[in-house]
Structure formats: C-alpha cells, structure tokens
Structure 1
Amino acid sequence: MNKRTSGAYSPLQRKPVRILSIVAGGLLAAVGLELFLIPHKLIPGGITGLSALFSHMTEMRLGLFLFLFNLPFILLSRKQISLQFALYTMLGLLCLTAGSLALHSYPAVAGEPLTAAIAGGLCLGLGIGISIRFGGITGSAGDPGYLLLKGGPPKYAETAIMLFNCAILLCGGFLFGWDQAMYSIIAYLLAFEGVRISLRDLSRSRAVWITSRRCEEISKALKESLEREAKLVQASGPAGQPGTLFCLASRLEEEKLTSIVRQYDKDSQIVFRGASGRDPGDLFRKNIS
C-alpha cells in the first residue's frame, strides 16, 4: 500500500513536467498519424479517422480537420471542467495539430502496411494516453480511450460510439480497399490498448484522509465540486481540535481535491493511500460510492 501526503511532489503536480508531457504526447500521436498511418491510408477510427476521411476527400491538411473537429468538444465540455484543465486540453490539441501539419510532407517511415498499423497504432494510443494522463486530451469522444478517464463511457453511449467507429472504418474500406480496412482495425485496437497502458491505475479510486477544523465546509465543497461524498470519521472537538474526513478520489482528482481543501483550511493535512490488496477505503465503499 502506498501512502503519500499532499505535501509530496509528483509529476502530475509539476507544471513544467505536465506541459512537456502533454507536448510530447501530442507530438507522438502526430508521428503515429503522419509517418505511419495516413501514408498507408489507414484510418484509426473516431474523430481522427473522420478527419482523415475529410482530408482525403478535400485534399486539405489533416491537421486542419483535427483542430476543427476536436475544438467543439472542448468548448462544449468547458462547463464541466476547470479552466486549467481546459487550457491543458487545448495545449494537447494544438500540439497534435501542429505536429500533424509539420510532419505532413515527410515520407512514411514504414514500408509495409502491417508494420505501419502496428507502429502507428501504438504511437497514436500512447501519445493520446500520455497527454490525457498529464492533464491534456488530444482526442474526443470518438477516439480510443477518451472516455477511459473514469472507467469508460456510459452504457447508453457504448452502442453509439461503436456504430460511429464502424461507420468510419467502413467508409475507409470503400475508399481505400478492404485490405486497408483490416489493417485499420489492427491500428485502432492497438491504439486503444496503448491508451489503456498509458492510463493504467489512473482512474482507480484512492482513499483520502483529511484532517481539518472545517470538516463540514470541506465536505460540502467536495460534494458540489467533485460530486464526492465525504464521511465524517471524527468530528472536530469543542476546543478547536481538528476532525477527520474520509472520501474516495482518483489520481486525476487529487490536485483539484487538494486545492479545494486548502481553500478552506491551509493548515489541513491530506493523506492519499493507494489501493493494493485490501484498502481501508473498502470499509466505506458501500456507503460512499
């Protein structure tokens, strides 16, 4: 079991590391597209695949459609995400777009479609996953892994996403041939797996213990901002002794949770416990989740 207090530093909390990681993720995804997949007419599915189809039919740059088709998702989700997260997301999208435009004139690295599908799919998936893990999103609802942040899309959306991706792959088959369509499926599956590898353990719940003199205000703020129920383990004492709160949060929510708690009590103590085997949070999971 891992234990970490909010005072410890991690890559997810260092802005320079986060920015460099988002940039690297966006550029890696662009490499997968422009140097492996697109030269062999392989369509990875999702908004990226839709952008590739429009790029082929209009003979315009892929990067232009990547930006135009992904931007509405960022704008529509602005009310659900913080400004900082939106800026990181925009940075990831800009890096993917700029990387695609810059690499468009370079020749394909792989000569065989199968090699291109494997290498391109992995580069695309790992690039998207790295960008997501460090706070930016280079994909959208149709791209592999975008909705893996909190365990996948809602059940009612799974069918729509599957049909959307099937339609993209079918269109690619009609335009480029069914051999290319089979290679595109391989690229899509590997991209999906690449995202899963990058996001491993990121959305797993972690136990959070908060010691503060303002437990009631913090509990209410966590419910309103993160939709997280916080259980009062020990109430504050009459002489000003701090109380203790317990809740569950994913690693994606750690930074925002810490910021919320610090707004109400700068002297509070926050302890995160990673799940390994039996976690103390399992005792409260039924009551909170």
Structure 2
Amino acid sequence: MNQPIEHKISASGRTKLIRILCVICGGLLAAVGLELFLMPHKLVLGGIAGLSALLAHLTEMRLGLFLFLFNLPFILLSRRQINLRFALYTLLGLFCLTAGSLALHHFPAVSTDPLIAAIAGGLCLGLGIGIMIRTGGLSGNVREQGFLLSDGGPPKSAEVVIMLFNCGILLAGGMLFGWDQAMYSIIAYLLAFEGVRFSLRGLSRSRAVWITSSRYEEIRKALQLSLKRDVKLIQPGTKEGQPGVLFCLASRLEEDALTSIVRSCDQDSKITVASNQPDSLADWVRRKIS
C-alpha cells in the first residue's frame, strides 16, 4: 500500500530537483552572457539587464549588485500573486544570476570580436532568462512579461513605454561608448529577445482543464478570485457530497498555480489537462525541462 505513495513522493522530488537545477543553469547561463561576452565589449541591452549594465559601466560598481537591487522590488511587489514555492524559485534564480555575475566579473572576455560577442552573449542571456522564466525562477511580473513575449508582445498600452525605455538605454549606450557598440547592442538585444521566445514557446497555448471534486463550488470561487479565470460548472453533483465537474482554460504558466489552488481546497480532487493543439518534437523536448 505504501509503494504508490512512495513512488509519487519520489517522482515529485525528482521534478523539484530538475526545476532547481534548471533555474540554477538558467541563471548561470545568463550571467555568462552578460559578464563574458556583453560587458567586456560595453554592449548594453534593453530592460533591467541593460539599465544595470549601463550603471555598472558609469559607476564601476559590480553588475551583479545592480541586477539584485533592481530585480528585488519586482519580487517583493509580486509576492501577493505567487505562492511560497514560486517565491523560493524566484529568489534562487535571482541569487544565481547575481552570484554568477559577481563570480565571473574578473574573468577575461571569451571573444575579442564584438560581433561574435553580441551573438553569443545575446543568445546566452536570452536562453538563460527564458529557462528561468519557464521553470519559475523569476518573479510573477517577469514571468508574465515572458509569457507576453511568447504570445506576440505586450499590450499596446505598455508597448510604447517599453519601446521608449529600451531605446533610451540603447541611445545612452551609443552616446557613451560609440555607435558601433550601439549597433552590436541592437544585434545582441534582438537575439536575446528571440532566445526568450524560443525558451517559452508553447507556454501561451491554452489548455482545457476539467476538475472533478465534491467541493466544486469552493474551487470555482477560489480559481475565479486568484487567477481571474472564468470557471464553468458543466456537471453539478447529483446530491450533497457527490462530485461535480468544472471546466476552464489555462496556459502552462498557470498550471502549477491552478493545481495548487485546487489541491488546497480538495486533496482528493481529480484534474485532467488536455492541450488544444498537438505537441511538436521541439515542444516535447522543452517539456522535459519544464
């Protein structure tokens, strides 16, 4: 009787270990892209990483310190939207990115060619950040930004602000370090963007979720409150205590949170998830690191 339970616990432990290793590898890969390729050539990207790099060059302070200081407020502000497990993954991802950046600061550049540095650095940074987002190693705000990247971009109301912010960073980098560096920075930025999109491909697909539970009303209210998700009761319980069936749509980014909410209401509930699109070979490979 204990074997299935022990097997389930063991499988859960392996999944957590894989996620932790992916977060660590993602943070270190992003740090390699920044410190061994982009920073030595004064290539400045957009976003928080670009702002951190720009200030690190101006003040001669360590890049890792700015990365930690600028990312920490997002973690604190998004604490109410994520559970403790995601918060721990978030802190682990930020710690690995910061520690990796500090540890690699004194190492020489891998390439003396700025074009090679822009290509390799952009890909390492984008893939590293994408892996951390996919495995839950960044804050809810950044996870949502990554989801929006994979789904075609941010809302139009925020698109102009983000574009102006990134253009301002690239313009400042060009004025300070030369327009050749600005051109290479744009190349690195575009490759980093594509690296994130590649890592997150498939997360934006909606999945049909059926939940069978005798506490379906409690679960429905909890999901609507926490995920702002429309949940339909498609089969009510025939009598008190009998299970009913709920239906909703969720992306892969929301699956863990949805499962956690449902299990907190009813440990004996049954959750069935089905993708509305067939998985490709690339999706199968990516799913193995999720």
Q: How does 1:114-125 map to 2 (within 5 A)?
A: 114-125=115-126
Q: 1:149 aligns with which of 144, 147, 150?
A: 147
Question: How far apart, CA to CA, are the structure 2 residues paired with 1:128 and 1:87?
Answer: 16
Instruction: For 1:158, give the aligned amino acid.
Output: E
Q: Which residue of 2 aligns with 1:267?
A: 268
> Structure 1 residues 12 and 21 mapped into 2: Cα distance closer, same or farther (>3 Å)?
farther
SS class of match (1:14): helix
- Contact map agreement 1:125 1:190 (CA 8 A) in 2: yes
> Structure 1 residues 44 and 139 mapped into 2: Cα distance closer, same or farther (>3 Å)?
farther
Q: Which residue of 2 aligns with 1:254?
A: 255
* Segment of structure 1 superposing worse, 104-113 or 238-247: 238-247
1:256-283 C-alpha deviation (Å, 9 max, x unpaired): 2112222222222111001216xxxxxx
SS class of match (2:81): coil
Question: How far apart, CA to CA, are the structure 2 residues paired with 1:52 and 1:23?
Answer: 21
TM-score, with length taken from structure 1: 0.86
- Contact map agreement 1:128 1:138 (CA 8 A) in 2: no
Q: Does 1:242 align with 2:240?
A: no
Question: How far apart, CA to CA, are the structure 2 residues paired with 1:12 and 1:250?
Answer: 24
Question: How far apart, CA to CA, are the structure 2 residues paired with 1:31 and 1:99?
Answer: 7
Q: What's the offset of the Cα at 1:14?
A: 2.0
Q: Structure 1: state its 5+ residue gaps.
A: 1-6, 278-289
Q: How does 1:101-250 map to 2 (within 5 A)?
A: 101-137=102-138, 147-150=145-148, 151=151, 152-238=153-239, 240-250=241-251
TM-score, with length taken from structure 2: 0.86
Name the structure with the higher helix share: 2
- Contact map agreement 1:213 1:243 (CA 8 A) in 2: yes
- Contact map agreement 1:52 1:62 (CA 8 A) in 2: yes
Question: How far apart, CA to CA, are the structure 2 residues paired with 1:253 and 1:47?
Answer: 24
> Structure 1 residues 167 and 140 mapped into 2: Cα distance closer, same or farther (>3 Å)?
farther
Question: How far apart, CA to CA, are the structure 1 residues paired with 2:76 and 2:37?
Answer: 30
Question: How far apart, CA to CA, are the structure 2 residues paired with 1:157 and 1:10?
Answer: 41
Instruction: Choose between structure 1 and 2 for higher RCO, CA contacts under 8 A separated by at least 6 residues.
Output: 1
1:6-46 C-alpha deviation (Å, 9 max, x unpaired): x8998999221111111110000000001111111111111
Q: Structure 2: state its 5+ residue gaps.
A: 1-7, 279-290
Q: What's the offset of the Cα at 1:240?
A: 4.1
1:147-170 C-alpha deviation (Å, 9 max, x unpaired): 132544332111111000000000
Identical columns (%): 70
Question: How far apart, CA to CA, are the structure 2 residues paired with 1:226 and 1:138?
Answer: 16
> Structure 1 residues 140 and 256 mapped into 2: Cα distance closer, same or farther (>3 Å)?
closer
Q: Does 1:68 align with 2:69?
A: yes
SS class of match (1:232): strand
